[in-house]
Structure 1
């Protein structure tokens, strides 16, 4: 059945949900015995006394005839009016779907987390598709709900919903590049990765990074970008500036901080939010697997509680501008604010940009008495934990032996 444009899916054919009349009903014959409508209007029960039966019969037949005549005329007028209104409104109704590939170009932005219905609404506002229903239908029909990605797209006005979906699924329609920042990079490394993946000048990114006040950092960051450039995948649009990109990384950190309950969790640990980020950055730098992160956090807290120095090689290497989780004897003896063999407590700031798993571990450490840990196999990310110094020495020798085999 062909459904008139503009009708809902559950409405029957015809205007207003009623069956459209195929034609006007024939007007009933006017009764011969109706002399004048005025006779009927003046008729009442009191006037019946003294009238003969023939008069009463003629009057009753006349009444029925006039009622039929008026009803028939009313039905015809209503039907004609509805049919005329439907014909007049038809050109003004929004079609359920456009046809073809569209006309004038238009840019549409899909925000992160938008549903197919919300995307359809944005497309309707931009005059890309005719209705939300047509777009959602083709998305569901093709099973593409999980394939629509955020970003800015170059589309065309008045497109068929299927054509609009095709462009949204075409990488060439997206007005941007994409860059992924892994967990554990330092700020300088993050800038280098951003410049390589986005095409934005590294010098400009570094210049913005040197002005932390422009980044929208949380107050507890104390104007330090290190630790607050959240590792994630970022879409780079043509209009994106270095400042826009770095600020988006800070916004993403704030969102993650809210999701893990950073500020409330820090209070439970009797730390500031910044100190939790410092712990998380060490966990990220030292850890091999996500499952080990809560145990590493517990080692850090056990050492802090006992008043012992952290003695983390990763902090030593950060202070020296080097990488690695194994510091040499000479490196351990070099004094920097980040040398946790020399200075008690946490280092003065984060040593990497942690991801959500490391932040969660810093807020919810595992339960245990571990005091040492050694990543005995860095390639396979195998870490062993102990509360006995003799076992720690054995694990450390196991690591040095393995590292010697690879050199």
Structure 2
């Protein structure tokens, strides 16, 4: 065989061999390349874990600081500085309050406050009102100072027996508001939620007590609160039921109570004075009440003894001229007077006289002779 033939033969064999080897090599080479990729996919997460471990663990102190800053809310220390008024409005959540506190500079962060509220278990204890706080307070201390007992309030004591006009004057004086605002509010009776039997307006139904009003309470709101307090007392003593048992309307009982309040010098005399009023109303023929207090109310004066000229007034409140009760209360009676009107003492007295104006002792008479003796004692004591 020639060299050419041998080479051709060998070349052909080499080509076929190479073809077979490429076929085998391709299969083997593919597996090797996949193994290399798998090793690369395992290394990448491993490296990421090592880096994270280096930040948190290997980074030591700096890693700790980074996590602390991310998880712990900013907060102040110390006792705070300055002063600010914070108002919690009706319906606000703890989160709403927290944001306002942060905005006003009371707490360092809203999150610190909400955390402190949750830790103290007071998420539902925040009450509407105004509170006086310092700026830059620790959140936990801010929570304590927002206790409802720390609300800013205006204390207004209203004595029993004041007429409505005097009550309005006292409210204006204690709150610093113009008196005309209270006068206007008192006339707007539809907004005061008076009981249905209040036939003559607010007089008699502005209950005397000591009130704590939030600073932003309006005159109408204050008077409405006083009416609410009257209604609570009326329910407690069963004014409607008691009036029915006595054969009177609830309004008439309030009128009687107002006279008792104006005439009595001491609470212990009130049930007897109430009995005198009932005895005169129920007498046959009926007696006039002849109460000086009702005459003085008609004349917008004060005192317990009207002059002959004053007794000539034609006002329907002149119980010396007209039979029966006056058209409305003459004062705002308190608990004792209302209870006395509902529970008069037993007795047949027709008169009562404050025989000693200084000690306010009141004595009672059933006959004209007894009455004259009490009048003489009254004069001896300077009456």
TM bin, normalised by shorter chain, reads: 0.5 to 0.7
Shift of 1:153: 3.6
Quote the residue 1:131 is aligned against. 120
Structure 2 unaligned spans of 5+: 1-70, 90-112, 123-127
Quote the residue 2:16 is aligned against. none
Q: Are 2:236 and 1:263 aligned?
A: no
Q: 2:161 aligns with which of 151, 169, 184?
A: 184
Shift of 1:370: 1.1
Quote the residue 2:255 is aligned against. 278
In the superposition, relative to structure 1, how do residues 255 and 341 fare at CA in structure 2: closer, same or farther (>3 Å)?
Answer: same
Q: Are 2:333 and 1:344 aligned?
A: no
In the alignment, the residues of structure 1 paired with residue 207 and residue 115 of structure 2 have an alpha-carbon distance, to the nearest angstrom, of 32
Question: Where does 1:97-108 land on structure 2 (aligned, <5 Å)?
Answer: 107=87
In the alignment, the residues of structure 2 paired with residue 363 and residue 315 of structure 1 have an alpha-carbon distance, to the nearest angstrom, of 20
Shift of 1:106: 5.0
Instruction: Name the structure where helix makes up a greater proportion of residues.
Output: 2
Question: Where does 1:76-95 land on structure 2 (aligned, <5 Å)?
Answer: none
Q: 2:213 aligns with which of 219, 236, 244?
A: 236
Quote the residue 1:217 is aligned against. 194
Q: Aligned with 1:398: secondary structure?
A: helix
Q: Are 2:360 and 1:371 aligned?
A: no
Question: Where does 1:37-52 land on structure 2 (aligned, <5 Å)?
Answer: none
Structure 1 unaligned spans of 5+: 1-91, 93-97, 110-123, 134-149
RMSD across aligned C-alpha pairs, in angstroms? 3.5
How many corresponding residue pairs?
A: 280
Question: Where does 1:196-211 land on structure 2 (aligned, <5 Å)?
Answer: 196-211=173-188
Are the equivalent residues in 2 in contact too, given 1:127–1:158 (CA < 8 A)? Answer: no
Are the equivalent residues in 1 in contact too, given 2:164–2:332 (CA < 8 A)? Answer: yes
Q: TM-score, normalised by structure 1?
A: 0.61
Q: TM-score, normalised by structure 2?
A: 0.65
In the alignment, the residues of structure 2 paired with residue 283 and residue 106 of structure 1 have an alpha-carbon distance, to the nearest angstrom, of 45
In the alignment, the residues of structure 2 paired with residue 127 and residue 292 of structure 1 have an alpha-carbon distance, to the nearest angstrom, of 56
Q: Aligned with 2:382: secondary structure?
A: helix
Shift of 1:177: 1.6
Q: Aligned with 1:220: secondary structure?
A: coil
Quote the residue 2:312 is aligned against. 333
Q: Aligned with 2:243: secondary structure?
A: helix
Q: 1:315 aligns with which of 294, 301, 309?
A: 294
In the alignment, the residues of structure 2 paired with residue 248 and residue 125 of structure 1 have an alpha-carbon distance, to the nearest angstrom, of 33
Q: Aligned with 1:221: secondary structure?
A: coil
Structure (1 or 2) with the larger CA radius of gyration = 2
In the alignment, the residues of structure 1 paired with residue 191 and residue 346 of structure 2 have an alpha-carbon distance, to the nearest angstrom, of 40
Shift of 1:400: 3.3
